[in-house]
Chain A
Amino acid sequence: MWQEKRADLAASFALRRRGLAKGWYKFSRNPLSVVGLVVLVVIVLATGLASYITPYPAHAGPYTNFKAAGQPPSWEHLFGTDRIGRDVFTRVIFGYRFSLLLGIVVLGLGVAPGVILGLIAGYHRGTWVETTIMRVTDVFLAVPPLVLALAITAMLTPSLLNEMFAIALLWWPWYCRLVFAVSSSMRNQFFIREAEFSGASEAHILFREMLPNCLAPILTKMTLDMGIVILLGASLSFVGLGAQPPTPCLGTMVADGAKRLPGEWWSTIFPALAIVLVILAFNLVGDGLRDVFAVEEV
């Protein structure tokens, strides 16, 4: 008996491994996706080890040295120093930490309700439930996210937490719409009908039958969205509505340094390029995943 089970398990592992190998093959066919993945891994590692690999970790916290302000790039300060006299390179690496955190928290908060509502709306296609959910979704999608995010954060005390909250509030509708599209198309398919007839609960149908079939597009969209969320967060920080000092925040650094262009170009150009790099990496990986899952359009 247990041998059988073990064989089963081994088989499923083999299957999974084969699936992974096949996925990796598809993913790695596009060299750009691999480059994106490598960049991403490097960034994640760098943020994780920021306290050890950056030359002046103290510069990410409460620290001032106005005498050393505005120094150009040198071996001592790779990316120069800012108007407070802090090392820009150190702050860029620490800044990634908050960008990634923002992306993860926003998607963590935003995806779950969006997916659940989308599943419910898809299951109850054609009823008032669907109408209510989807019309409310329309309201949130009626203007570009930056506009609403600005309006909401402008009303709150600016902080990283409120920024996350505001963006998350705007993010669920996208997933709701996506999941609705996928799940409503499978509403009348055989396996759902079968589950219904066999008396499965609604929760079972939603989460065990429908959800697994939506995972591929959700995962792909999440990877692509990481870039967009980081971009949006940077935009909010750019107008001063994001994380507060001395938290190193890439958008704030760009805005801050922009006041010192063209003289102290390093304090704005390097953080700007850093933002581009991380978003680019997420986009490339997202594209790769799209190939793997053969997702048409998300």
Chain B
Amino acid sequence: MAKYIGLRLVQSIFVLFGLSLLIFSIARVVPGDPARAALGFLASQDQVQQMRVEMHLDKPFPVQYYYWIRNVMHGDLGKSSYTRRPVTTDLAQYIPATLELILFATLISLVFGQIMGILAGYFRNSWFDGLSRLVSYLGIATPSFVIAILLMFLFSQVFRLAPSVGRLPIMMQPPPTVTGFMVLDSLLAGQVKTALVALNHLLLPAFSLAVIHIAQEGRITRSSIVENLNKDYITMHRVHGIRTSRLVFKYLLRPSIIPTITVMGLDFAFLMSNAFLVELVYMWPGFSRYAVTTMLNKDLNAMVAVVVVMGVTFALVNLAVDIIISFLDPTIRIQRRGG
């Protein structure tokens, strides 16, 4: 097991190295003037030239990459030319907001996906099954930003059920930052009302992100339940008069856990990328909005950092999923050892 994890880690590092090289070359090769962007409006041409030297932009590409990787080894991702702060400072500020959003979206998709899947599976071929199938198809076919806009239009603008701007009302004093999660921090500071308000703000963006995953997880749970419902041991249990709820949770749900976890793991990174546009729609001050803003502003250091952070997250989550699954399902573990 340890050997397997070690191998995977080495592979991941190789991939991340390649990724940084790829994104770095994309960022540097194409023309444009990040020095001008860092300086602003009334700068003279001399000043721009001086800035180019400061940012090593006058050096050949390999030298630039060497400088960059050397600094990364020291934990320095460079300075953002957009916010003019160290990129690490920016990331530390914005990542928790996105993480909070994604975790909440995962929770929503897990709960709703399971409920939908169980009901659709247990009452298969009923009207509910048909409806859930339709919802899944729609969920998979709808871009996250379209869902975001539709939900915002319906639930925030037509029916004023939930706010659609940011994490907290502007006038509300945010709680002192401990975890960076607004809801958690508010509870830690004993501000129940703030926590509720923050939760309310999470609702629409998180749902916008969750819809597609509700659809997928619902289908997986359904098919797993349908498959197992036909198995002999279930019929046996039924004959023995075990309660339906017990049957569902003990015997039917368990087999669907493994595919659900796999999908959730894969989904995590996609949640992050879907959050790119959802955060834009809801003005969510998170990592993804930062990513899009800096990319559009050709903020090289921030851009490279953003992509590498995504890569690291993706790699870590995949690794975690592998480990969890191999604990849950011994057959996979043995297979892996064999292979």
User: Using a CB–CB distance below 8 Å, which chain A residues touch chain B?
Assistant: 32, 135-136, 138-140, 142-148, 150-152, 154-156, 227, 231, 234-235, 238-240, 254, 258, 261-262, 265, 268-269, 272, 275-276, 279-280, 283-284
Contacts and interface: CB of A to CB of B under 8 A. Distances in A.
A284 B142 CA distance: 13
B270 A262 contact: no
Given A135-B15, A155-B298, A279-B142, A144 B149 contact: no
A276 B292 CA distance: 23
A265 B153 contact: yes
A272 B151 CA distance: 12
A155 B32 contact: yes
B269 A283 contact: no
Contacts of B137: 32, 280, 283-284
Query: Which 10 pairs from chain A and chain B are nearest by CB?
Result: A144-B273, A139-B18, A280-B141, A262-B157, A279-B141, A155-B30, A154-B295, A146-B273, A143-B310, A272-B146
A142 B311 contact: yes
Given A235-B143, A239-B296, A269 B138 contact: no
A148 B307 contact: yes
A269 B141 contact: no
Contact of A142 (B272, B277, B315): B315
Nearest to B309: A143
A258 B291 contact: no
B23 A154 contact: no
- A143, A240, A269, A279, most chain B CB atoms within 10 A: A143
Interface residues of B, number: 49
Contact of A138 (B11, B143, B146): B11
11 contacts: A144-B314, A151-B23, A151-B295, A152-B26, A154-B298, A155-B30, A231-B143, A261-B152, A268-B153, A272-B149, A279-B141
Nearest to B12: A142
Interface string B226-256: 0000000000000000000000000000000
A235 B311 CA distance: 20
A43 B150 CA distance: 23
Chain A at the B interface: mostly helix, strand, loop or mixed?
helix
Given A139-B18, A280-B137, A150 B311 contact: no
Contacts of A275: 142-143, 146
B188 interface: no
B82 interface: no
A235 B273 CA distance: 11
A239 B292 contact: yes
Nearest to A135: B14
Contacts of B311: 142-143
A262 B150 contact: no
A147 B291 contact: yes
B27 to A, nearest CB: 7
Given A135-B14, A142-B311, A283 B19 contact: no
Given A150-B292, A155-B26, A155-B30, A254 B146 contact: yes
Nearest to A227: B141
Nearest to A153: B295
Contacts, number: 125
Contacts of B133: 32
Contacts of B15: 135, 138-139, 142
Nearest to A32: B137
Contacts of A268: 149, 153
B332 interface: no
Nearest to A169: B26
A38 to B, nearest CB: 15
Interface in B1-51: 11, 14-16, 18-19, 22-23, 26-27, 30, 32
Nearest to B18: A139
A107 to B, nearest CB: 18
B150 A269 contact: yes
B290 interface: no
Contacts of B11: 135, 138
A84 to B, nearest CB: 20
B94 interface: no
Contacts of A227: 141
A155 B11 CA distance: 29
Contacts of B314: 142-144
Given A142-B18, A238-B143, A275-B143, 11 more contacts: A135-B18, A140-B22, A142-B16, A146-B276, A151-B23, A154-B303, A235-B276, A235-B277, A262-B157, A276-B142, A279-B142
B140 interface: yes
B207 interface: no
A261 B153 contact: yes
B224 to A, nearest CB: 15
A143 B152 contact: no
B269 A276 contact: no
A258 B157 CA distance: 12
B281 A258 contact: yes
Nearest to A144: B273
Contact of B143 (A135, A139, A234): A234
